[in-house]
Amino acid sequence: MGKVFEKTNINGMSLGNRFIYSATWDGCADDNGFCTQRNIDMTVERVSGGVGLIITGMAYVKPEGKAAPWQLAACGDEFTDGLAKMAGAIHDAGGKVVLQLAHAGCYAPSAITGHEPLGPSANDTDNFPKCREMTLQEIDEVVDAFGKAAGRAQKAGFDGVQLHGAHGYLLTQFLSPFFNKRTDNYGGSIENRARVLVRAIQAVRNEVGEKFPVLVKINSEDFVEGGFTQDEMLQVCSMLEDAGVDAIEMSGGTVYASGAFSCCRVGALDTPEKEVYYKDAATRYKEKISVPLVLVGGNRSLEASEKVVSVGLTDYVSFCRPLIRESDLIKRWKEGDTAPAACIYCNGCFAPGLKGQGVQCIARKGNAAK
């Protein structure tokens, strides 16, 4: 069946294959962030469709860090029971699940959160949303919040957690000189800019122990002038390796960037050669970092997926929009229908989510936009 269908293990978490559903906001939680049956059904559907691991849509770790409506929350003990139902349902379906933890920083709209947006540095330009610089106490509180949220995930029965350090959200904002203009111990050098992320990982480990899988999602680069670079990514990943991270998922782009450099690029991938957006960054990563790599972005065909795994470019292949279009894509491939994913990468799937209908493919027959 090829290397992509091999069984693997990430710090005790046994996976049936190397295919992962990448964390995707699904717009299915209730108004207050509680997990709903729609959240559960959507994830179980993809487990039944053959993926080896589900990474949930981002769950905010503090109320002022909420990025979008109908987003999962992990910022209080009251959310644990609902999350436990999700984890239990996925396990009953034979799957494994990791809870993604996030804080949106300056991209947390005050209209949704009721709080003033915060970031590593104050911003009054039009480059990204206006925000206030975080105090040292607020940084400490965010670090603690990541740890506490991870503890809730463990209590709820999740198989691991992933810290969202990509796409321009708060942990990325600290990493990136595009956002971070601080002059204290959290700004300037890459060691300083990575300090919040490293401290958050330490806080998570203090809560969950050494035998609970901890993953990080990071940008290959920001694709904005003056942003986070590939060289800096490699330095940060070395720090993450030293911090004991169990796997790193590589993505790229930010909420700020558009078009070809967005974190959700548009445009059809009509040949395997056009697939896998971050090949060059992954090649450099594999030369320096031994932490297992999860590669997301532009993965569409079994042929390309098998190639990048078999040549050692990545350990896992992660999908988002293709599995929104076809939840049974991996099962279809395993059963012999190896046609590429039907996804056309139009980003239309997010429009229903913003209307409270949940993220869903609008290009699929019988599922037109409402």
Query: What does the pLDDT look like over 175-227, one tens digit per residue?
Result: 999 999 999 999 999 999 999 999 999 999 999 999 999 999 999 999 888 99
Q: Does domain 3-354 have CATH number 1.10.150.20?
A: no
278 catalytically annotated:
no
| Six token digits for residue 103 | 């804080």
pLDDT band at 271 (very low <50, low <70, confident <90, very high): low
Q: What is the pLDDT of residues 297-324, one digit of tens each?
A: 888 899 999 999 999 999 999 998 889 8
pTM over 0.75: yes
Stronger pLDDT, 20 or 298, i.e. the higher one = 20
pLDDT band at 57 (very low <50, low <70, confident <90, very high): very high
Mean pLDDT of 129-148: 97
% of residues, the chain, pLDDT over 90: 78
Asked if 241 and 290 touch (Cβ cutoff 8 Å), the reply is yes
| Rounded Cα gap, residues 285 and 279, in angstroms | 10
Q: Which of 60, 169, 186, 277 is catalytic?
A: 169
Asked if 301 and 341 touch (Cβ cutoff 8 Å), the reply is yes
Q: CA-CA distances (angstroms) from residue 128 to 125, 153, 227? A: 7, 31, 13
What pLDDT, on a 0 to 100 scale, did the predictor assign at position 262? 60
Helix and strand totals (H; E) in the chain: 13, 13
Average pLDDT of the chain, as a whole number: 92
| DSSP strand pairing (8-10 vs 13-15) | antiparallel
Q: CA-CA distances (angstroms) from residue 80 to 73, 116, 191, 197, 210? A: 9, 26, 34, 24, 21
Least confident of 19-28, 135-144, 190-199, 347-356: 347-356
% of residues, the chain, pLDDT over 70: 92
pLDDT band at 360 (very low <50, low <70, confident <90, very high): confident
| Rounded Cα gap, residues 176 and 299, in angstroms | 26
What pLDDT, on a 0 to 100 scale, did the predictor assign at position 343? 76
pLDDT band at 338 (very low <50, low <70, confident <90, very high): very high
Stronger pLDDT, 254 or 66, i.e. the higher one = 66
Q: Break the chain down into helix, strand, coil percent, rounded to 5.
A: 40, 15, 45
Mean pLDDT of 277-296: 96
What pLDDT, on a 0 to 100 scale, did the predictor assign at position 348? 72
Q: Where are the domains positioned within the chain? A: 3-354
| Rounded Cα gap, residues 241 and 160, in angstroms | 17
What pLDDT, on a 0 to 100 scale, did the predictor assign at position 369? 39
Mean pLDDT of 57-62: 97
